[in-house]
Structure 1
């Protein structure tokens, strides 16, 4: 799509109109096989036929809209040739007709099929417009609100699941490199950079085969660590879960693990929580070198400090904790130290406890991730656990604290 078309469509009303037309086509697709007239009398059909009426002028300048133009023309032909149903002459006839419906003519199925194809073509149009506008917005002086809105729209689109047409449009637009540049730009507003991080994570989930490479080779990793906001750390943790060891190895080789471990001492509570999630993910997915690098940067000492805070404590205290009631009664679905259980209904007791005290048993939870994780061999797991216990003894403020943490690590890390 040329630059002239991109610059001539700066307003969001186009996208709103296209979304309305997509909804109309989906409605026709559904009602075509359920209504006697194939949906031809519906407002949605009238909207699509009105679009077909103006298609010569509207679509003539863009060859990518030629398939949509042909489909709309086919829809008009089908709607015009659909045999009309004779009117019911009585309430009784209407009742009997509702019970003994005659099979719909092939026209009904054809209208439904064409409407579905129209919906897909309109979605492709929306994708092109959104990507073009996003690239323009990130390169020009658009408002931060509009930039964030466009980024969120694409994140939502990518989260709908794989679509080859959307992927092709995305790659042709060059949007990934523009989004990555905006993420790395300290002049961009925080809300924009946070949304860029979320979009990149959504794209990796959309198709890891295509987008993992650019993430590992580009500036995304450095940007996420440098910004270190709750949103970018959330995206980083998601990327670790998706990419696993290759991303952790890249973080280790770039020397970023030290900076991320230091975030456990951040004055921002949510950053601390995300940093803890990061440490737990490294414990689960990381190779020996990465886990040892974090331990060497004082991980256990920092985790113990968090345990001593007001939001820390030990999971053993869960039995005496005053839980908020759910549906008029307390909920208790079982406890495993250092391990989150999937609740049978609602939230597990442990999950609710950790929401209120996110740093409880932080050391034991890290030890569990190492024990049950997939990044280490069994021999390496035993060595790391011994190293954890050694560092607990060195960092504990008293023999009592050390003994309590020892008990949690040895009990909680048992499968």
Structure 2
């Protein structure tokens, strides 16, 4: 059986052994109860199944030695189950040793799994000539899941030695992979930043990742950009401002025909505004940002009114069975409208820079007055202007909900 066939079986056994090692640490063993006997039996059975791999794989040498020590301690513990004082003391010592060795075993198994996973990630993204989208997405998601467990120095060393960041960056920036693979690679980059900002923030700021995400201009890529802004904060917003990237996000919000992309751009703009300087926000206003927000906010209200009217008509129909069914559909559609991404968007825009860290108090006041002026200009009626202005000044208006 070749290595590719061996590895899945080996991985399955090692995952089981890791869980059994964790159980040995968490279950006290003053005496061998049925539960504890079951834990020990499971561990020893898995160890027996792994014997062939342990004896032939040099990368598992240290693990093999630790497992041998642990097996000896477990056998000794099982052989000292009488109730005399000496046996009781010995069991306490053995329990401590078992817990300590089991912790080492768990860490060694995780290190082997990490090493194999990273080798597989590199192979799938770089060495495989085929374009198996599902396999690429699968290994990327597994990598993100591992990073989500928190910082691990040994894992970081493996990542740096394997140049994972630059491989992911290459996939996002210049590969011929599908949009889905590019987006998942970008999510993995964000996961690396979350894993250790000190190491990976600089690489994001100096590399082409941000430009690539904006060039892709998909719902997923803009979501990742928003996540990166949230993680990196002002340094990334300043970098985007100096390269003209903020106006490109505004352009997506203003002109995209895809509601999902517009909603992602809206969330990205709100994240940017929280950290942006006065000049950047003024540039947004000059691009017609407020008029667009007023239009989008109005569209949500108009759609909600239409759906409420249609629901009222359904309720007045003669056929009660048909009315009940169609009314249910109407209610579900109204539920979707409750999540309209541009509800109160003008107020949300103002709140973000008022609560943000990029502006002085006087700058916030000036910008707010300018936004209110533009709201009045963009409104189609005095009632609409009054409603939005009141919401911005005093809080959410019932007319908007």
Q: Under TM normalisation by the shorter chain, which class is it?
A: 0.7 to 0.9
- Alpha carbons of structure 1 residues 110 and 311: separation in structure 2 relative to 1, 3 Å: farther
After superposition, give the CA deviation of every residue in 1:327-381 in whole Å (9 maximum; x if it has no partner).
xxxxxxxxxxxxxxxxxxxxxxxxx898532211111111111112222110111
What TM-score does the superposition give when structure 2 sets the normalisation length? Answer: 0.80
- Any gaps of 5 or more consecutive residues in structure 2? 305-311, 313-334, 397-401
**Does residue 128 of structure 1 match 2:115?**
yes
How far, CA to CA, are the matches of 1:252 and 1:198 in structure 2? 22
What TM-score does the superposition give when structure 1 sets the normalisation length? Answer: 0.78
After superposition, give the CA deviation of every residue in 1:214-236 in whole Å (9 maximum; x if it has no partner).
11111110111111222222211
Q: Please, what is the CA RMSD of the aligned residues?
A: 2.9
Equivalent residue for 1:165, pick from 154, 158, 171: 154
Within a 5 Å distance, the mapping from 1:348-367 to structure 2 comes to: 355-367=338-350
Q: Is the 2:10–2:53 contact (alpha carbons within 8 Å) kept by the matching residues of 1?
A: no
Once the 2 structures are TM-superposed, how far is the Cα of residue 311 of structure 1 from its aligned partner?
Answer: 6.2
Q: Is the 1:244–1:286 contact (alpha carbons within 8 Å) kept by the matching residues of 2?
A: no
**Does residue 81 of structure 1 match 2:76?**
yes
Once the 2 structures are TM-superposed, how far is the Cα of residue 102 of structure 1 from its aligned partner?
Answer: 5.7
User: Hey, what does 2:96 align to over in structure 1?
Assistant: 109
- Any gaps of 5 or more consecutive residues in structure 1? 1-6, 89-100, 315-321, 323-351
How far, CA to CA, are the matches of 1:271 and 1:15 in structure 2? 40
How far, CA to CA, are the matches of 1:233 and 1:394 in structure 2? 30
How far, CA to CA, are the matches of 1:172 and 1:188 in structure 2? 24
Q: Is the 1:263–1:272 contact (alpha carbons within 8 Å) kept by the matching residues of 2?
A: yes
How far, CA to CA, are the matches of 1:219 and 1:14 in structure 2? 38
Q: Is the 2:131–2:177 contact (alpha carbons within 8 Å) kept by the matching residues of 1?
A: no
Once the 2 structures are TM-superposed, how far is the Cα of residue 174 of structure 1 from its aligned partner?
Answer: 0.9
User: Hey, what does 1:190 align to over in structure 2?
Assistant: 179
User: Hey, what does 2:288 align to over in structure 1?
Assistant: 298
How far, CA to CA, are the matches of 2:55 and 2:187 in structure 1? 39
How far, CA to CA, are the matches of 1:381 and 1:33 in structure 2? 64
User: Hey, what does 1:47 align to over in structure 2?
Assistant: 46
- Alpha carbons of structure 1 residues 146 and 17: separation in structure 2 relative to 1, 3 Å: farther
Once the 2 structures are TM-superposed, how far is the Cα of residue 242 of structure 1 from its aligned partner?
Answer: 1.1
User: Hey, what does 2:325 align to over in structure 1?
Assistant: none
User: Partner of 2:108: helix, strand, or coil?
Assistant: helix
User: Hey, what does 1:174 align to over in structure 2?
Assistant: 163
**Does residue 71 of structure 1 match 2:58?**
no
How far, CA to CA, are the matches of 1:309 and 1:270 in structure 2? 15
User: Partner of 1:181: helix, strand, or coil?
Assistant: helix
User: Hey, what does 2:322 align to over in structure 1?
Assistant: none
Which has the higher mean CA deviation after the structures are superposed, 168-177 or 293-302? 293-302
User: Hey, what does 2:363 align to over in structure 1?
Assistant: 380
User: Hey, what does 1:57 align to over in structure 2?
Assistant: 56
Equivalent residue for 1:241, pick from 230, 254, 257: 230
Higher helix share: 2
